[in-house]
Chains A and B, each alone.
Chain A
Amino acid sequence: MNAVPRRRMVPAYLATGGRSRPGTEGFERLTVLFADRTDRAEPPAELEPEHRRLWELLRPGALTVVEAAAHLRLPVSATVFLAADLVEAGRLHARAPIPRAQQTDRSIVERLLVGLRALR
């Protein structure tokens, strides 16, 4: 490879400058991020450092956006940008906190209540 590693003057996660970025709408603090279990390869060379850090963090297992942000010491919004880039590139998967859309509010709170009582 003869390409010189490029480093943006402004990191990718700041380059958006607060503008809305297509593809981030569905993300929230509890969006679950995970990599393919079969994805044992070295990080793709094209990944920039911040993207690579997120990808490496998630290689062993799944985390929510907010947990990834805390471990990487990045703002939640920045983590969302990075995650959206990686999902777009097919390097990560994201799923909503509540997997099945047909869950009702009531059934969710019932699960919470039953679960809490079981710990008591």
Chain B
Amino acid sequence: MDSVRSGSPVDRPGRVGYLPDRDQLLMKLVVAGPFGVGKTTLIRTLSEIATLHTEEAMTETGRPVDDLAGLPEKSTTTVAVDFGRLTLPGNTVLYMFGTPGQRRFFPLWQDIARGALGALVLADTRRLADSFEIMDMVEEQGLPYAVAVNRFPDSPDHPSEVLRAHLDLHPTTPLLLCDARERDSSLDALIALAEHVLDTLPAASTDAEERP
């Protein structure tokens, strides 16, 4: 007989996707972009577990616009951060975190991005400028990134050189089109990102542990 649960139970224990092994190597990528650009869709497409989220409390410093005393008002907002998990061959687990793209969430962004290998920035051709803020944040964090234009049915098609110019991309920053609803397309976006991250790292050299 099951033991009587005390306290509030975990929601549906049978649905908890435990890690199959304790010795895996866990790594993290962030999927960043403005609201509604498809971050959660891409994570859901690739994740082996139902996407989860944490509620992150954020203290925002408001603008002292109408405040005669000039004291910035502080308010606390809760932001849901979605994430998913993908086990890769080779005893490796990839965690993908969707991060909000607004500057006011910069401290939260920094906290989540710490230790990430890179960022996939999603953009929508109908509103490219909405991705500028997050691109600035990614660059400030020093995280290598690739830009994936998530294609929506009514998205206008632009030549990539036009998109690159609009996004002011560094020549080495990958730009690709993807459909966040499709697994292979989403995988391709992450592969392009991983290739780029590898390019940014110094070539294997003096590390004794490096395999020949």
Residues of A within 8 A of B (CB): 28-30, 32, 34, 42-43, 49-50, 52-53, 56-57, 60-64, 66-67, 69-73, 75-76, 95, 97-99, 102-120
Contact = CB atoms under 8 A, between A and B. Distances in A.
Nearest to A65: B54
B204 A119 contact: no
Contacts of A73: 11, 55
Contacts of A49: 6-8
Contacts of B53: 70
- The majority secondary structure among interface residues of chain A is helix
Interface of B: 3, 5-11, 13, 16-19, 21-23, 25-28, 52-57, 83, 85-86, 88-90, 92, 94-95, 97, 112, 114-115, 117, 184, 187-188, 190-191, 194-195, 197-198, 201-204, 207, 209-211
Contact of A28 (B6, B115, B201): B115
A30 B28 contact: yes
Given A32-B22, A61-B16, A71-B11, 11 more contacts: A30-B27, A53-B9, A53-B10, A60-B16, A63-B18, A98-B25, A104-B204, A106-B204, A106-B207, A107-B204, A112-B194
A115 B89 contact: yes
Contact of A32 (B26, B194, B198): B26
Given A57-B10, A63-B16, A72-B10, A109 B194 contact: yes
A60 B210 contact: no
Nearest to B199: A109
Given A61-B19, A104-B210, A56 B115 contact: no
B204 A111 contact: no
A11 B48 CA distance: 33
A34 B22 CA distance: 8
Contacts of B202: 106
B26 A64 contact: yes
Contacts of A76: 54, 56
A71 to B, nearest CB: 5
A112 B7 contact: no
A117 B191 contact: yes
B189 to A, nearest CB: 10
A61 B22 CA distance: 9
21 contacts: A30-B26, A32-B22, A49-B8, A50-B7, A53-B7, A62-B18, A63-B18, A64-B19, A70-B52, A72-B10, A73-B55, A76-B56, A95-B22, A103-B209, A105-B117, A106-B203, A109-B198, A110-B198, A112-B27, A113-B198, A115-B89
